[in-house]
Amino acid sequence: MAELKKITENLIKGNAPGVKELVQKVVDEGEDVEKILNEGLLAGMSVVGDKFKKNEFYVPEVLIAARAMKAGMEILRPLLLEKNVKGQGKVVLGTVRGDLHDIGKNLVGMMLEGAGFEVIDLGVDIAPEKFIQEAKKNSAEIVGLSALLTTTMPAMKDVIEALTKEGMRGKVKVMIGGAPVTQEYADEIEADGYAPDAASAADKAKELIAV
Ligand code: B1M
């Protein structure tokens, strides 16, 4: 659909009003909301991510694109939630201690919400005790940890160790992700799941609560 391509192009350019208008238009025309999310918005964010990696885009461009993504999501979020009337479960999500990166984590949160999860987003620079406190308070099924720095990856292990100490490892699954994080690292620290991107994070979360 030409309109979805236009959404992608406008998102890459960071044109938030344009994205909002186009998303509303395709919604009104009856396009499938998941298709708009995947083939319109997320396709754009994926290009933005690639351009980052190649140093063709810098921080301001990403932030502007993320704002355009948010503008589109404001229209899609309630529709996606409606589609998944039955809640999948609760995810306590945050960027680990010492780490202030939140663009990817926010995308993961959006995708999880889109897949029907209730997301309790704690924000950035979150201490292990806070993850535990919130997981308990909300009876969360999953704790989601994001890290973008090699120096903050060990903080993920700290959360897992703290959960073990609290006797919560059997009750709550731990999913990890972030640019430097790998499946190998997830295995090493005994996380329950790893996802390389926001779309697969939603799939992985569904998988984790199914077992
Ligand atoms: Co920072 N930064 N940064 N930065 N920054 C990186 C990560 C870096 C790779 C840049 C570089 O040197 N090339 C580098 C890390 C090097 C390393 O450790 N190996 C780096 C550094 C060094 C730093 C500082 C130390 C710089 C300094 O001050 N000297 C500093 C650290 C601050 C801190 O955290 N304590 C810093 C600061 C910043 C800004 C504040 C300027 C800004 C963050 C703004 C914000 O987030 N609000 C920033 C940014 C924007 C970046 C880059 C350019 C982009 C990160 C991003 O948002 N990517 C990044 C370079 C790069 O990646 N090319 C860089 C887009 C986003 C959609 O992708 O976050 O990977 P990503 O998320 C993906 C997946 O990883 C996955 O899904 C997401 C969507 O598909 N995912 C999960 C993420 N979390 C997940 C959780 C899951 C599952 C999947 O389950 C729960």
Q: How far is the CA of 144 from the centre of ligand 1 (A)?
A: 16
Could you tell me which residues are beta bridge partners of residue 92?
120, 143
Q: How far is the CA of 188 from the centre of ligand 1 (A)?
A: 22
Residues touching ligand 1 (Cβ under 6 Å) are 49, 52-53, 59, 62, 98-105, 107-108, 144-146, 148-151, 175-180, 195, 197-198, 201
Mean pLDDT of 53-81: 87
Q: Which of 26, 52, 83 is the last residue of a domain?
A: 83
Q: Provide the mean pLDDT of the chain.
A: 92
Examine the domain organization and report whether 21 and 122 are in the same domain: no
Examine the domain organization and report whether 117 and 42 are in the same domain: no
Q: Which of 42, 58, 83 is the last residue of a domain?
A: 83
Give how far Cα 175 sits from Cα of 25, 30, 156, 182, Å.
Answer: 35, 34, 10, 12
The pLDDT of residue 87 is above 80: no
Q: How far apart are CA 36 and CA 40, in angstroms?
A: 5
Q: How far apart are CA 112 and CA 89, in angstroms?
A: 10
Mean pLDDT of 33-53: 86
- Find the range with the poorest average confidence among 48-52, 92-96, 128-132: 48-52
The residue range of the domain holding 8 is: 2-83
Examine the domain organization and report whether 201 and 120 are in the same domain: yes
The domain total for the chain is 2
DSSP state of 190: T
Q: Which amino acid is at 51?
A: K
Percentage above 90 pLDDT, the chain? 65
Give 110's pLDDT tier (boundaries 50, 70, 90).
confident
Give 20's pLDDT tier (boundaries 50, 70, 90).
very high
The pLDDT of residue 193 is above 80: yes
Examine the domain organization and report whether 111 and 192 are in the same domain: yes
CATH label of the domain that carries residue 13: 1.10.1240.10
Which atom of ligand 1 is the closest one to the Cα of 148?
Answer: 7
Q: What's the pTM?
A: 0.81
The residue nearest atom 30 of ligand 1, judged by CA position, is 100
Which atom of ligand 1 is the closest one to the Cα of 91?
Answer: 91
The residue nearest atom 77 of ligand 1, judged by CA position, is 197
Structure tokens belonging to residue 18 = 């344009």
| pLDDT score at 52 | 78
Ligand 1: residue of 45, 95, 101 to mutate (most ligand atoms within 8 A of CB) is: 101
